[in-house]
Amino acid sequence: MFQSTILSTAERILKEPGYAVSFEQACQLAALSEAHPEDFIFCAHKIRTQFKENRVFTCAIINAKSGLCTEDCAFCAQSSHHGAQIEVYPLKSEAELIGHAMRMRDAGATNYSPVTSGHSLTDNEMDRVTRVAATLESRTDLKMCASLGMLTESRARRLKASGVSRYHHNLETARSHFDQICTTHDYEEDLETVRVAKGAGLEICSGGIMGLGETWEQRVELAMTLRELDVDSIPINFLNPIPGTRMEKRPLLPPMEALRCIALFRFIHPRKDITVCGGREVTLKDFQSWVFLAGANGLMIGDYLTTKGRSAAMDIAMIGAMGLEHERP
C-alpha cells in the first residue's frame, strides 16, 4: 500500500489544474521519501507520464572556453581559486564549435549549447558565439541554447536574434546555502541574469547541483525559487568531487537519494522539463535508467565540462530500452 500523503499529493497534482505543493508540503514529502522511496519515485513517474508522456529529449554541451574563471564556486575545476588539473584554453573557433555541434547532432542530441567559463564574455567573444548560433540555426534542426555567464539586456536580445532559443544559467543551490559555495558574486546577480534572459524572450534553463552539503529543506528552497522564476527547464546535476576543488573530499550522494532529488523536483514542477546532467554516471552507476522512473524527461549526453560522460550511443539505447520515445526537433 502506498504512503497516503505521497499518494494523495500526487493525485491532487494529477487531477487539479493549477494545484501546487507548498514549501511545507514539499519538505514533508522529502522527509517521507526517506522511508518510502519507491512510493515517491513511482508517483513522480506517474506525474511525468501525464504531463510529459513518454518523450525524452537529449542535450549536449561543449566546454567552449575553459579555465581561469575568477569566480570561486567550491565545486568547479575551472575556478582560478582552485588547483584542479584541467585543460585551459580561450574561446574555441567557429569551426570547432560548429563541427562539435554537428557531431553531437549526429550522435542524437536534440538541444545544443556552448558553455563558457568566467563571469561573462567580451564583446568579441559574444560576436563569435552569435555567429555560431546563427549558422547552426540555419543549417540544423538543433534547438540552440547558450550558457555564457552573466547577461545584459542588449546581449540577451542579440542571442535571441541570432537563433538562440534557450539560455542556461544555474543557480547551483538555495540562496540560504549560496555563501557556502560562492563568495565572488551575489545570488541576486544570478537571479537578475535569469530575469534578463526571460525578458528578452529566451526560454530559461536553470537548476543546480545536488550534494553540495545542502539540506533537504534547501533543495526545496531552490526548487521553489525556480518556480517563482517560472523557468522552462531544470537541469539536475550531482556533485562529482574533483581533486583540487574545495569539494574534493565530499562523498557522492547514494543512488537512491539522488533519485529522490529528481522526484522532489518533479512533484514541485510537474509540467516543466527536468534534465539529468553531470555526475549521473558516478552517482547512479547501474541505476541511470531510473532517472526516467524518478520523473526526468531529459538527459544530457556526451561529455561534460571537465569530466567525461559515457557514449551517447549507450544513452540513446537506454532510452529505447525503457520504452521511451527519443524526441527529435
- pLDDT tens for each residue of 275-305: 999 999 999 999 999 999 999 999 999 999 9
What pLDDT sits at residue 147? 98
Where helices occur in 65-210 by DSSP H, the ranges are 94-107, 123-139, 153-162, 175-178, 187-199
Q: Which residues contact 240 (CB under 8 A, 6 or more apart)?
A: 252, 278, 279, 282, 283, 307
**Mean pLDDT calculated for residue range 188-200:** 98
* pLDDT level of residue 169 (50, 70, 90 thresholds): very high
* pLDDT level of residue 163 (50, 70, 90 thresholds): very high
- At 1-43, the pLDDT tens digits run 789 999 999 999 999 998 999 999 999 999 999 999 999 999 9
Calculate the alpha carbon distances from 255 to 76, 106, 160, 282, 283 in Å. Answer: 22, 31, 38, 9, 6
* pLDDT level of residue 327 (50, 70, 90 thresholds): confident
User: Per the structure block, which three cell numbers stand in for 35?
Assistant: 522511508
- At 112-155, the pLDDT tens digits run 999 999 999 999 999 999 999 999 999 999 999 999 999 999 99
What pLDDT sits at residue 14? 98
What pLDDT sits at residue 90? 96
Average pLDDT over the chain, rounded to an integer = 96
What pTM value is reported for the model?
0.97
CATH of domain 21-326: 3.20.20.70
Higher pLDDT, residue 116 or 328: 116
Higher pLDDT, residue 80 or 58: 58
- 329 has a pLDDT exceeding 70: no
User: Cβ(274)–Cβ(47) under 8 Å?
Assistant: no
Which amino acid is present at 136? L
Higher pLDDT, residue 80 or 145: 145
Q: Which residues contact 212 (CB under 8 A, 6 or more apart)?
A: 74, 75, 172, 173, 177, 180, 181, 239, 247, 250
User: Per the structure block, which three cell numbers stand in for 131?
Assistant: 555567429
CA distance 61 to 144: 10
